[in-house]
A = this chain, B = another copy of it.
Amino acid sequence: MFNKIGQEDIKVFETIFGKEKCFSGTEIESEYAKDEMGTIISYPEIRVIADNKYQISELMQYANQKRIPVTVRGAGTGLVGGCVATRGGVLLDLTEMNQIIELDQINMTLRAQPGVLMLDIYDFVEKENLFYGPDPGEKTATIGGTIATNAGGMRAIKYGTTREWIRGLEVVLPSGEIIKTGGKVVKNSSGYPLKELFIGTEGTLGIIVEATLKLTSLPKFSTSLLAPFETSIKAIEAAPELIKRHVTPTAVEYVDQTSLKYSNEFLGKHMPHDNYDAYLLLSYDGTSKEALDADITLASQLCLELGAIDVYLIDTEERKDSVWTIRGAFLEAIKASTTEMDEIDVVLPRSKIASYLEFTQDISKKLNLRMPYFGHVGDGNLHIYFCRDDLKEDVWQQKLKEAFDVMYDRAFANGGLVSGEHGIGYAKKAYLEKQIGATQIKLMREIKKIFDPNNILNPDKIV
């Protein structure tokens, strides 16, 4: 079905990208065979570093004609194998297409190449008192990667996911044609929403070569509250009430003693007031200090009414840094605590979170499998980890399969979806089909065929 890359092909790639931007065979470092999770491992036959969209267009025309698979890679911070070249072929590295092209102050848009890192986007726009809403946990992800997975992050409850912040895209199609969809405009009812089709489809329909992001005024003030509760259930059940009865927080994170312990060990530091079993970590922002203070006062009262043992204001830079560093390190800390791990990234209706986490604890005991978790309880998105520790390969694989099966079944029965923000990639394909059924999978496969009749762009992913 696909052709292997030969010497002649390599010459063509070297002509397109320059010899110094092409790496094949043993020149390819092991990090380019996997993503951040590392569960899916496959080497590309060649890694090429792109400098501009015209090279990408040429590459796709050639690869399409020669039936050579092409997999796009940004910073490689994904967790489901989306950027792994499972069929070999070309790994198209976009990390050097990392220029911010234009900040338009009047239309409040930012045009950026796909390889710009999230932390660079925040730095750039916040200096201008502007704000980009999506805030995925991984700040070294590229903007292109976050668009490809429709990344969410902690602020999704108030500011939505990446999709809502993308005004326009320029895309190289698998045929090599370059199209623009959307623009700097706020509204769009102009035909089928092709822009939406490139968002969240993990680089399977086209290659994003430029994005126009929506910006808003920077909310000048923000404060967090740390509210300990007696039990995890009490904390989690308080979350939807807090959201309903008050202004929308920017984040509602669930933190428990187990996750804290991993972070403490990993970072060698503690957050203040960390002697309780379960917490809600809440953030609020605003445009005036007075209004924010009023919101915070009301939020604190509500927390106490809803059963919080206490409420701590996380308002100094030092306290903010400490708490959010600890919270931000959960994934890395859990990873460091075990030999190998896998995860589910289900998203559920908020009302189902508490019972789902009880179920998680039961399954963990039943399977005798360590399953730490944390999550954006405000938006119903949970990250639950399966830790191998010292299990033998066959036992690990068996427990893993059992765990995935029961955890997804329970999620789907509760109106949940496979992925809130990490995507389907290679790892979660079977569960997507289980969730949405054959009719929708067939529609997705046919959409894929329209854009990529030869299936050369990121094959094996999603459907």
Contact = CB atoms under 8 A, between A and B. Distances in A.
Interface string A223-260: 00000000000000000110111111000000000000
Contacts of A267: none
Contact of A186 (B380, B423, B436): B380
A349 interface: yes
Nearest to A435: B190
Given A450-B447, A451-B443, A381 B187 contact: yes
Contact of A443 (B104, B376, B450): B450
Contacts of A191: 418, 424, 432, 436, 440, 444, 462-463
Given A192-B463, A351-B107, A439-B173, A248 B187 contact: no
A87 interface: no
Interface string A135-178: 00000000000000111100011001101100000000100010
Contacts of A76: none
B240 A106 contact: yes
A347 B173 contact: no
A239 to B, nearest CB: 10
A39 interface: no
Contact of A197 (B157, B192, B291, B417): B192
A220 to B, nearest CB: 10
Contacts of A185: 347-349, 379-380, 415-417, 420
A449 to B, nearest CB: 9
Contacts of A179: 436-437, 439-440
A423 to B, nearest CB: 5
A463 B151 CA distance: 31
A314 interface: no
B106 A351 contact: yes
A446 interface: yes
Interface of A: 104-109, 149-152, 156-157, 160-161, 163-164, 173, 177, 179, 181-194, 196-197, 199-201, 205, 216-217, 240-241, 243-248, 286-288, 290-291, 294-295, 345, 347-351, 376, 378-381, 415-424, 432, 435-437, 439-440, 443-444, 446-448, 450-451, 462-463
Query: 3 closest pairs, A vs B, by CB?
Result: A291-B291, A196-B196, A186-B379
